[in-house]
Amino acid sequence: MEEFQKKIPFFDLVDTIYNSIVITNGKLDGPDNPKLLYVNKAFERITGYCADEVIGKTPRILQGELTDRKVIQKLKSILERGEFFEGNTVNYKKDGTPYYVQWNISPIKNEHGEVEYYFCVQKDITQSVEYEKLLQETLRKEKELRLKKEKVLQTQEKHVVMGEMIDSIAHQWKQPLGVIRLETDFLGYTWKDNLLNQEELVKFQSKVFHQIDHLTSTLDEFRGFLRKDKKQSSFKASKVINSTLLLVKDEFLRLQIEFEIKLKEDFKIYGFENEFKHVLINIINNARDALNINNIKNGKIEIEIDNNKIKISDNAGGIPEGIINKLFEANFTTKESTNGTGIGLFMSKKIIQKISGEIEVSNIPNGAEFTISFA
C-alpha cells in the first residue's frame, strides 16, 4: 500500500479524473468562505479558470443569475449539519457561459468530529440536461399534435353524425308527411261530395294527430340528441336504447329490418347520454349497411341487455377475419365507395373507454356481435 502511494501520489491521481475535483476549507461563515484550496485539471478545463486564479477565493465566483438560490440554501443547510450533499444547478465559466453542474460534496472531519475540509466532485451535465429538455419539448409537441388530431377527428365525427341525423330526420318524416298529405287530399274529396260525417272526421283527426305526435316526438329526440351534454349523468341501459331506436326505427321499418330487444337484467350507465347514443347509432347503422350490401332478406338486429353488458348482433354474414381486428383503428374504413370516414368505431371506442367501459366485436353464426361491457 505504501509503495503504491509513493508510486502514484494522490493529487497526481486526482488530476487524471475526468470530472472536476474541488477541495475547500471547512468554514461556511463570512463572505469569503469557504475558500478554494485545490482544483484539478478537469476544473480548469470545464470552467476556463486556471488554478492560480481561483485558489483562495470562494466557489461563489462560479455562480450567477441562473444559479438556483434554493439549491444554494439547501446546500449550506446540509453542510452546516456536517452531512453529504448532492444537487445540481447552473454555474458560469470564466467567459460567462452558463453550464449545468452536479455536485457531490463530502465533509472531511478531524479526530474531534469537526469539519476541516469539503471534498467536492463536480460533473458537467449540460449535455444531459439539454437532451432532457429536447426530449420534453419533443414529447410536448407530439402531445399537442396528438390532441390536435383527436380534435380534428372529433370535429369530423360530429359532422358525420350531423349528416346522418339530417338523413335520418328526412327518412323519419317522409312517411308521416306523406300520410298527412294523403289524408288532407282525401278530406278535400270528401268535402267535395259532402260525404264527410262526424265519425269520419274523428278518424281523420286521429290519423293526422298520430302522425303529428310522431313527428313532434322524433323532433324532440333529435334535438336532445344533437345537444351537447354539459355534465355526466346516470341513465338506464334500456332507456337509452329505446330512445336511440326512436331515432332510426322508421327507416329500418322501411328497409324491412327487424329489431328485437332482450331485456334480461337492466343496469345503469354513468356518462354522457348523447355520446353513448352516438355509439349505439354508429353500430346499428353499420349493421344496416352490412345487411343492405349483402342483400340479406329478413334482416334482423338483436339487442340484449344483461349483467352490465349490451350486445348488438345482426345476421348480415359476419366481418371478414382479415379486417375484424382493425375495426377500431383510426382512419380504417371498409366504405371507400360510400364515403365512409373510418372514424366512427375509433371514436366509439374512445367514448366507451372515457366512461370506464370496453367495446369488442366478434363473429357469431350468420353475423357479427358488438359487446359493450362495464365493470
Q: Both 365 and 236 in a single domain? A: yes
pLDDT for residue 371: 96
Q: How far apart are CA 208 and CA 179, in angstroms?
A: 8
Q: Which of 71, 105, 124 is the last residue of a domain?
A: 124
- Does residue 305 form part of some domain? yes
Q: Which of 124, 146, 175 is the last residue of a domain?
A: 124
30 is in which domain, residue-wise? Answer: 2-124
Q: What is the pLDDT along the chain (375 residues), one digit of tens a residue?
A: 344 344 446 677 777 788 888 988 888 888 888 989 888 888 999 899 988 898 989 998 898 888 888 888 888 888 888 888 898 888 999 999 899 988 889 998 888 888 888 899 988 888 888 877 877 887 788 888 888 877 776 666 665 666 666 666 666 676 676 777 776 666 666 655 555 566 766 677 677 776 676 666 666 666 655 566 567 889 999 999 988 887 787 778 888 899 999 999 999 999 888 788 888 988 998 999 999 999 998 999 999 999 899 999 999 999 998 899 888 887 666 654 444 434 478 888 888 998 899 999 999 999 999 999 998
pLDDT for residue 4: 37
The number of folded domains in the chain is 2
DSSP 215-229: HHHHHHHHHHHHSPP
pLDDT tens per residue, range 186-198: 666 665 555 556 6
pLDDT tens per residue, range 361-374: 999 999 999 999 99
Q: Which of 60, 89, 124 is the last residue of a domain?
A: 124
pLDDT for residue 338: 45
Cell numbers for 264: 334480461
- Does residue 240 form part of some domain? yes
Give just the sign of the alpha carbon dihedral 221, 227, 228, 232. Answer: negative
Measured CA distances, 16 to 24, 45, 124 (Å): 19, 12, 16
| CATH number of the CATH domain containing 313 | 3.30.565.10
> In this structure, which long-range contacts are made by residues 251-254, counting pairs with CB atoms below 8 Å and at least 24 apart in sequence?
251/168, 251/171, 251/172, 251/288, 252/288, 252/301, 254/171, 254/175
- How is residue 265 annotated by DSSP? S
137-165 residues labelled b (16+ CB within 10 A) or e (exposed): eeeeeeeeeeeeeeeebeeebeebbeebb
Q: Both 112 and 238 in a single domain? A: no
